[in-house]
Structure 1
């Protein structure tokens, strides 16, 4: 029997506790889970590709999962999954708005390769509101992001905000 390989793709800008939850749970569903750190200039990233990759690699190492690896990519997700030998794409869902977008993407991916399944994992209830975009916004306006990211990621985000400058009256 061949081993099952799953892909959990994202920009992880920055990686949150919600991402870590999906990684931990997704790793139980496949023999090997590949975290695909991708580029997405439309998301106006706070961190470079290399910084995000290093951040995700460290956070995955801290989870202590021996079946998880981190790979950077800049390609069509289905092509990346094919190159990795993956049969599953894992996506986390927080809200109905996520579902609508992810459902459409899953349908398109299925059209591109009917042998790659998309599996949706609902975010843990306590982590549902967490989004990288909101974490960055809270940090930029001087808010506390410690409930949403690890200590190390918090330090990196705060350091970056110190470099680029805070916004608003805080």
Structure 2
């Protein structure tokens, strides 16, 4: 069985990586797909997010990384995937994800949604939280893979340099 793990992954966190690593134990292949979300303003371009995910999942032979603009169920059909893999942290995630699972079912009856509860050490973690901590120079090395932590430090030091030079 092939699973699609869709998300914006801006940036990928250790919580996302936990879901991916557990997903490969359940499925013959997990395709991590960076999806375009028009309601979000990403920090990193899609190509950079794909590169980040590839680097931190290179130890997982059953993982592919891709990107897509469109409906997730259409992407699943294109790749003969039977499952959409989703992580759940808190109750509000469940409500939103259950609604999306039901919507996806109306669009593609053959595609199932499987929820994995996030490991408790990552239950508080979100990409938004990571970006805010990084923006203010806080330590994020325990929240994201090292390659992503470095990209965030680089991004914020470039932006800080721009602010200093424009003053």
Which deviates more, 147-156 or 89-98? 147-156
Distance of 1:164 and 1:100 partners within structure 2: 36
1:10 to 7, 12, 24: 7
Selected match of 1:125 from 120, 127, 136 = 120
Among residues 157, 165, 169, which one is paired with 2:152 in the alignment?
A: 157
In the TM superposition, 1:11-160 aligns within 5 A as 11-61=8-58, 64-160=59-155
Q: Matched residues in 2 for 1:11 and 1:164: separation?
A: 22
* 1:38 Cα deviation after fit: 1.3
Matches of 1:122 and 1:37 in 2, distance apart?
A: 20
- 2:55–2:147 CA contact under 8 A, matched in 1: no
Contact 1:53 1:72 in 2 (8 A): yes
Partners of 2:56 and 2:49 lie apart in 1 by 10
Contact 1:14 1:47 in 2 (8 A): yes
In structure 2, list runs of 5 or more residues that go unmatched. Answer: none
Cα distance, 1:67 vs structure 2: 1.1
What is the CA-CA distance between 1:42 and the residue it aligns to?
2.1
**CA-to-partner distance for each residue in 1:98-154, whole Å, 9 max, x for gaps?**
111100000000111111100000000011111001100111122111110112111
Q: Matched residue pairs, number?
A: 162
Q: So what's the TM-score if we normalise by structure 2?
A: 0.93
Q: Which stretches of structure 1, 4 residues or longer, exceed 3 Å deviation after superposition? A: none
Instruction: Please give the TM-score of this superposition, normalised by the length of structure 1.
Output: 0.91
